[in-house]
Structure 1
Amino acid sequence: MIRDAREEDLPALLALYHQLSARDPATVSERHRAAWAALARQDITRILVAENGGEVVGTLALSIIPNLTRDARPYALIENVVTCEERRGQGIGRRLLEEAERLARDREAYKLMLMSGNVRGEAHAFYRRCGFNGETKTAFEKRLA
């Protein structure tokens, strides 16, 4: 089942994010609670979770961003895609991405983007199998911290 994350999912979300990057803490802090409260007050970013048997086994963040180009149609951005290590290869990530696409289409977004670390070849192959094209755009980033 794919659903919007709830505040009580924070420990499970942080455990997943820790699997994505060991630098991310696996325990909930006040900073996390403040970020959750900020997310709850806005309508641009949604945190989706995949739940199986009451357990959160995957997640992604979907932002649908207002835009002035493309006839003022928004664009959508996916971040923080992660499936529990023990559950990978079971279609969970694909179902999360399909739901993100459905939500973006429902809001008439003209494109859906995601970025992935440049050394994550297995993830890149997965995204291609899900219909994402890694050849049409070049991503740039500037780390601020």
Structure 2
Amino acid sequence: MSTLLVRPAHPQDLAALVTLYQQLSTRNPASVSPRHEEAWQAMLAHPGLHVLVAEQDGQLVGTLTLALLPNLTRGVRPYGVIENVVTAGTYRNRGIGRALLEEAERLAREARAYKVMLMSGAEVHGAHAFYQKCGYQADTKQAFEKRWP
């Protein structure tokens, strides 16, 4: 069995990330566009933003994004928001998602964040069970969102 490496994303990981994001939602485009390139450069330069990847067998098999945000409450400690968690379908149930979450949590604790939070699609029950097994609670907050086309 090969070793799993969880690491910060590198600039050259963009195409592999775009491919992974298709498994998150089929509405995501399959190829890198100039808008992807522009957003990727902004993400890499953004303070407190961490795009983590899981690499196995020389390919990216999972990713998540952690945003650590400054805060004026809770002892002026930041909080973390985890988004875009995805593991390649053929690599699921191998501990990859857990390893990514653990690294995000380590970074959040290192930054003295008082919490990390994430949201999951309402109908993605398998993911909900996974997050709960990783220690995330579904009954402490109510999520609300507003989306635009």
1:42 deviates by 1.6
Alignment of 1:41-80 (within 5 A): 41-80=45-84
After TM superposition, the score normalised by the length of structure 1 is 0.98
> Match for 1:109: what amino acid?
A
User: Does the 8 Å CA contact 2:7/2:53 hold for their aligned counterparts?
Assistant: yes
Counterpart pick for 2:24 among 20, 27, 34:
20
> Match for 2:114: what amino acid?
Y
> Match for 2:42: what amino acid?
A
CA RMSD of aligned residues (A): 0.6
Percent of aligned pairs sharing the same letter: 57
Partner deviation per Cα, 1:31-71 (whole Å, 9 max, x = no partner): 00000111122212110000012110000000000000001
Whole-angstrom CA distance in 1 between matches of 2:24 and 2:137: 22
1:83 deviates by 0.2
Q: Secondary structure at the match of 2:142?
A: coil
Runs of 4+ in 1 over 2 A off after TM superposition: none
Q: Secondary structure at the match of 1:99?
A: helix
Partner deviation per Cα, 1:88-109 (whole Å, 9 max, x = no partner): 0000000000000000000000
User: Does the 8 Å CA contact 2:11/2:44 hold for their aligned counterparts?
Assistant: no
* Aligned residue pair count: 145
Q: Secondary structure at the match of 2:129?
A: helix
1:8 deviates by 1.1
Q: Secondary structure at the match of 2:83?
A: strand
Correspondence 1:84 to 2:88: yes
Which residues of structure 1 form unaligned runs of 5+?
none
Whole-angstrom CA distance in 2 between matches of 1:40 and 1:10: 11
1:29 equivalent in structure 2: 33
1:133 deviates by 0.2
